[in-house]
Amino acid sequence: MKRSLLLLAIGFAMTVQAQNAPVFETSAKDEIAANHYLAGSNYLDYNRQLSEKPLTPCPKGYEPFYMSHYGRHGSRWLIWEGDYTLPIRALKSAHENGKLTEVGEETLQKLEAIFSTTKKRLGDLTTVGERQHHGIGKRMAQNFPEIFKTKDLKIDARSTVVIRCILSMIAECEELAAANPTAQIHNDVSESLQYYLNQPWEGIVKEEGKTGDKEYHDAEVKYTHPERLMKVLFNDQQWVYNNVMAGDLMRRLFDVATNMQSHDTDIELLSLFTDEELYDQWRIRNVGWYLDYGASPVSGTKMPFSQLNLLKNIIETADTVTQTQATLRFGHEVCVMPLACLLELDNCGMAVENLDELDTYWRNYRIFPMACNIQLVFYRPKKGKEGDILVKALLNEREAYMPTSTDQWPYYKWQDLREYYLKKIAAFEQEAATK
């Protein structure tokens, strides 16, 4: 009982912003039916979710002067060879035994064609991913010329040591350099930066990190219904029963299918799945990501604190800003997503007890498509004016709600936010010290 009350209290504290944050206008099921690419979760092509809504003009008498940013690398090949070879193996065995339908044969050919492109490319940035970051960098300069077109602008850009992240940083910085030839861009890649750019699980976070394995398995069982798909791919269902792990094959085909949007290709596999199947397979992944990185009560609502060092770095760096400049950080979705939850952007920090209802409140594709990013834009009074430093948060270039009160959304007083986050950090560290 005490644990339940504690979780409720923590959940409430992490969702203060939800009182004002917008609710979803449509169901996740309807959104995915209208845009099948959304089912890809972390494989979603960033450019397929761009908003056309214009940004809110800054308050009168203010100007932007600093951007603090963390961005995920762009679209990539799948990371593990087995992501491709295991479904190929299953279909190839059926082919050799004469058990594939015409659709099954076509699917095998497509998988083999896709796999042929992966030689020494697993996990690499694709041309789609590079293009995403060129677009982000270009729009940064267009949206905030007061920052990015300042003469001799200092840009501090840092990346994890993973090549796809480094190349994403380069693509973004190329656009910023093109927009401002006087910009002084410092790129840095080092193991010494990993403690906050790609913080490993430790302490309470590490202890709680895998407590949702049962719940994830339950979701896999509940939402995987491969019977129709097996009849589409195979001509002998008894053979399938004896030789194919149907649920596993369905999930692996789904991963390859949804990641095809990471490539400039006409090959597609999404049409293998019905709208209902796309939605159900997405639900599995929505639950999985929430359990591992969201404020799930199953993991004690602690997983967003995996980005504790990153939040500290954001605050500490902002404290040192004395002139117009930008801090750009590049890494992974396993950092962006929990950081969004830790910052409590929109409804990201919600603690949801009933995982069957999770997508009513929390949808991973809103948070971490390929090339996902958080931009904190700082504003100061223009010369000769007085006032507080203000901050606006952009989640994937959409204006986001934050956890403190404001009378001029999407602009918040930085001092209020800073105090809120420092108290949140202190409370977590105090609890961790007692464990």
Q: Does 122 or 23 have the greater pLDDT score?
A: 122
* CA gap 63, 406 in Å, rounded: 18
Q: Does 210 or 252 have the greater pLDDT score?
A: 252
Which pLDDT band holds residue 22 (cuts at 50, 70, 90)?
low
* Alpha carbon distances (Å) from 217 to 201, 287, 406, 433: 22, 10, 41, 32
Provide mean pLDDT across the span 152-170.
Answer: 98
pLDDT surpassing 90 at residue 18: no
Is residue 272, in this structure, part of any structural domain at all? no
- Mean residue pLDDT of the chain comes to 93
Is residue 167, in this structure, part of any structural domain at all? yes
pTM of the model: 0.93
Is residue 411, in this structure, part of any structural domain at all? yes
Supply the CATH number for residue 299's domain. 3.40.50.1240
Q: Give burial (CB, 10 Å; 0-12/13-18/19+) of 67.
A: buried
Residue 229 DSSP SS3: helix
Is residue 103, in this structure, part of any structural domain at all? no
Provide mean pLDDT across the span 356-370.
Answer: 96
Query: pLDDT, tens digit, for every residue of 134-147?
Result: 999 999 999 999 99
Chain centroid to Cα 321, Å, comes to 27
- pLDDT (0 to 100) of residue 1: 35
Provide mean pLDDT across the span 326-338.
Answer: 97
Is residue 14, in this structure, part of any structural domain at all? yes
Of residues 307, 324, 293, the one with CA closest to residue 70: 307
180 dihedral zone (left: phi>0; alpha: psi -120 to 50; beta) = beta
User: Where in the sequence is the domain holding 348, given as residue range(s)?
Assistant: 2-78+122-213+284-434
φ/ψ (deg, to 5) at 107: -65, -40
Residues 6+ away with beta carbon under 8 Å from 63: 146, 379, 380, 382
Which pLDDT band holds residue 211 (cuts at 50, 70, 90)?
confident
Is residue 86, in this structure, part of any structural domain at all? no
pLDDT surpassing 80 at residue 164: yes
* Alpha carbon distances (Å) from 362 to 24, 194, 216: 9, 28, 16
Structure tokens at 254: 């789904």
Angle, helices 213-223 vs 275-293, to 10°: value is 180
DSSP state of 154: E
User: Above pLDDT 70, what percent of the chain?
Assistant: 95
- pLDDT (0 to 100) of residue 212: 84
Provide mean pLDDT across the span 112-129.
Answer: 97
DSSP-derived secondary structure for 176-226:
HHHH-TT-EEEEEE-GGGHHHHSPPP-HHHHHHTTTTHHHHHHHHHHH---
Type and span of the H or E element at 65: strand 62-72
Domain count, the chain: 1
Q: What angle do CA 292, 299, 29 make, to 5 degrees?
A: 55
Angle, helices 246-259 vs 102-115, to 10°: value is 50
- pLDDT (0 to 100) of residue 17: 40
Query: pLDDT, tens digit, for every residue of 82-111?
Result: 999 999 999 999 999 999 999 999 999 999
pLDDT surpassing 60 at residue 209: yes
